[in-house]
Chain A
Amino acid sequence: MALIEFWRSHPSEVMALLWQHLMLVCLSTGIATCIGVPLGIFAARNQRAGAPLVWLANVAQTIPSLAMFGFLLPLPFIGGLGARVATIVLVLYALLPIIRTTSAGLLAIDAALLEAGTALGMTARQRLRIVELPLALPSIVAGIRVAAVIGVGTATIAAAVGAGGLGEYIFRGLSMVDSTMILAGAVPAAVVALTIDGALTLLERSLRSRRSGRRQRRTVGAVVAVGAALAVLGAGVAIAAAFGGRQPSVVRVGSKNFTEQIILGEITAQALERAGVTVERRLNLGGTFICDRAVRSGDIDLYVEYSGTAATAIFKQPVDTDPRRVLATVRRAYADVGITVFEPLGFENTFAILVRGADARRLSLKTIEDVVPHARGWRAGFGYEFLQRADGFPGLASAYGLQFGTPPIAMDLSLIYRALADARVDLVAGDATSGLIRALDLVMLEDSKRYFPPYDAAVVARSETLLANPRVKEALDALSGRITIADIRAMNHAVDAERHDPATVAREFLARVR
């Protein structure tokens, strides 16, 4: 029942994901058929050359799908875009059954029939078209059926790389420990798999029985059955959706899956509760992508996002370093999808160029520019990503004319603050809001040339929720500009290092600022 309730409350999203899922499977199976059938013909013709081909397809099949997605994602041309990677992975998985059944179907044809074809004066091509492919067709269809069913299953995993589809509910449900949401994705996926399997089995059987008569009608029947089943599935979801509605009285607060976000989620939730709003917490949801989908679909009403992240990661805008301009861009883009961006909370979670407090005081270092004259004798430590990315160290170095005597050391982010404090390195790039900055007496140098894009933290909330409940807007407006960088560092430190409960930390903060 909760499941039907869920579908009813997410009508357009369910349809969109179902459609994405079907398109992903149809497209990949289609491409795999176009590639696999010729390869299968080739494998049947030259068995010596065909064997390694089948072996390769076999190997592709044994790679766990999640590993395959992870493997392809960073590759140039192939990787990057979720849907593209997903399509390629699904095609790779679909190839083996199709190649195999095509070649097996061709090899199973009675030699007398092949001889008859040649003896009647068919060219090799005519024989393939008139005799071989039609006779191998049931076998080929069987391969396509297997490929499509595998595809429906694998496509759910494609959500992990942002390809969408029904797997998105499964992943979102898993991270929210919401079994209803998991089922909301898993059930339609299973129905799609069963429908495709059943329909293609029917088609395959009708093709086989063709030889003993009663042709065509059954083939048509099978195709109609596929269409009808999919139509019923779609209609069911649509009807469930049409009767949908949601209670606006509860406000759902979400957050990403790291300490600072959980603290911010608690702060916003408690601020709302103080204003008499009923709150449901959906904290620790997952990454940026999951939170964004959740707020757009109405699974949550609000969460805290960072302006630069929204601009680049969500709306795919080019990097811009002007904070007001970035905020304005993000506001406009969010407005188009029915989401309001509040005034920033008051701090920025950006890259922080850090030095030891003692050095800063001794050399009176305030900005990154101040480091330039000393850099020759210094050693820097950066995270792997920061070191590699063009918008990381290479860009920073050229923006400030920064040159170190020895090449920077690559190290894990979690070790970087301690390495600086222990003087193993003299300068690092860390996280501006890290609680360790104060704890280890480190100093963040000002990015005076505004090399890093702004990452102002701000609440993003569904506009319809704000309209339905003016107290929500009031309570959130009251938070604008109230959380300083020092506040958030202290709170991060309290939770990470001192093991305080985020809810308690948030409560103490709110008590202090009121």
Chain B
Amino acid sequence: MSTSQILGYSPVVIAFSDVHLARGGTPVLRGVTFAVEAGETLVLVGRSGAGKSSILKLINRMLVPDAGTIEVNGRQTTDTDGVALRRAAGYVIQEVALFPHLTVRDNVALVPRLLGWDETRVRSRVDELLGLVGLPPDEFAARMPGEVSGGQRQRVGVARALAGDPPILLMDEPFGALDPVTRTELHEEFRRIQRLVKKTTILVTHDMLEAFALGDRIGVLHDGDMAALDTPSGIATSRDPRVRALLAPLAELATLLPALTHGLTRWP
């Protein structure tokens, strides 16, 4: 019986079942099982090297599991052509990785062009997406990636991942390199966009705050195991020490918060 049949009501888009993966002799994932439903945002948190990025690469077959199965839309990735799989799964890469020799427009237009759309459709799609991520096309489309700010680059990265209208969105630390204020702005933006497009999303981060801000569910990865997989409130009340360790910085912030608020109110 497959995982999708067990998990009843909402259609399962991505299903990992007992996935093992080793890279360079060291185990990265040791029997990970989970499923993501259509339109859901799953945030995977964990320390560096916990295997978060590998999970994304297993989904679009940039990696192949050593054992276990991964199904995307009911088909095992090992039975699916990698290129087709990748075109159906938008990818927002860790360092944004916009192509420096292409304009913002051409970066966003990449996947639609690979999919063979005609140019008028590509053009209107790029304009639509740049508008969606808050970059007026008239102002930004012709610029080079080097000519826009870090936050704007992240937005272009998101637009590029969405351009081919993929049912799945994979985001690897998409807001990692940003200052906290810009990051918070983009969280807001992401929730707005996600309400509009409703992509099945897996987002990887090491920032628990980001996980709470964006996730419908949160998966905590620890040493290649899925230590916890629950709603944000479930995670917040977890007693698992591996989860509590990740929550520690937040707890510290919470104890500081009254003092901070107090300090702020004393300003005229």
Residues of A within 8 A of B (CB): 110, 112-113, 115-123, 126, 130-131, 134-135, 210-213, 215
**B56 → chain A closest CB, angstroms:** 9
Show 25 residue pairs from A and B whose CB-CB distance is below 8 angstroms, ordered by the A residue.
A110-B95, A112-B95, A112-B97, A115-B93, A116-B97, A116-B99, A118-B62, A119-B86, A119-B91, A120-B87, A120-B114, A121-B111, A121-B114, A121-B164, A122-B83, A130-B99, A131-B99, A135-B99, A210-B144, A211-B100, A211-B101, A211-B146, A212-B147, A213-B146, A213-B147
**B62 → chain A closest CB, angstroms:** 6
B48-87 interface code vs A (CB 8 A; 1 in, 0 out): 0000000000001010000000000000000000011111
Contact indicator B94/A121 (Cβ below 8 Å): no
**A118-B62, A120-B160 known; A130-B110 Cβ under 8 A:** yes
In the bound assembly, the distance between CA atoms of A121 and B163 in angstroms comes to 12
In the bound assembly, the distance between CA atoms of A130 and B97 in angstroms comes to 14
Chain B residues closer than 8 Å to A215, beta-carbon distance: 144
Q: Does B143 contact A (CB under 8 A)?
A: yes
Chain A residues closer than 8 Å to B110, beta-carbon distance: 120, 130
In the bound assembly, the distance between CA atoms of A121 and B60 in angstroms comes to 9
Contact indicator A213/B91 (Cβ below 8 Å): no
Q: Which of A116, A131, A212 has the most chain B CB atoms inside 10 A of its CB?
A: A116
Which B88-135 residues sit within 8 Å CB-CB of chain A? 91, 93-95, 97, 99-101, 110-111, 114
Residue of A nearest to B144 (CB): A213
In the bound assembly, the distance between CA atoms of A123 and B114 in angstroms comes to 9
Contact indicator A112/B111 (Cβ below 8 Å): no
In the bound assembly, the distance between CA atoms of A118 and B62 in angstroms comes to 8
Chain B residues closer than 8 Å to A113, beta-carbon distance: 97, 99-100
**B163 → chain A closest CB, angstroms:** 9
Interface pairs A-B: 8 shortest CB-CB:
A121-B87, A121-B86, A116-B97, A119-B91, A211-B100, A112-B97, A212-B146, A112-B95
Beyond A119-B62, A120-B110, 14 additional contacts (C-beta under 8 Å) are: A112-B97, A116-B93, A119-B86, A119-B91, A120-B87, A120-B111, A121-B83, A121-B84, A121-B86, A121-B164, A131-B99, A134-B101, A135-B99, A135-B101
Residue of B nearest to A134 (CB): B101
Chain B residues closer than 8 Å to A211, beta-carbon distance: 100-101, 144-146
Contact indicator B114/A115 (Cβ below 8 Å): no
Chain B residues closer than 8 Å to A117, beta-carbon distance: 99
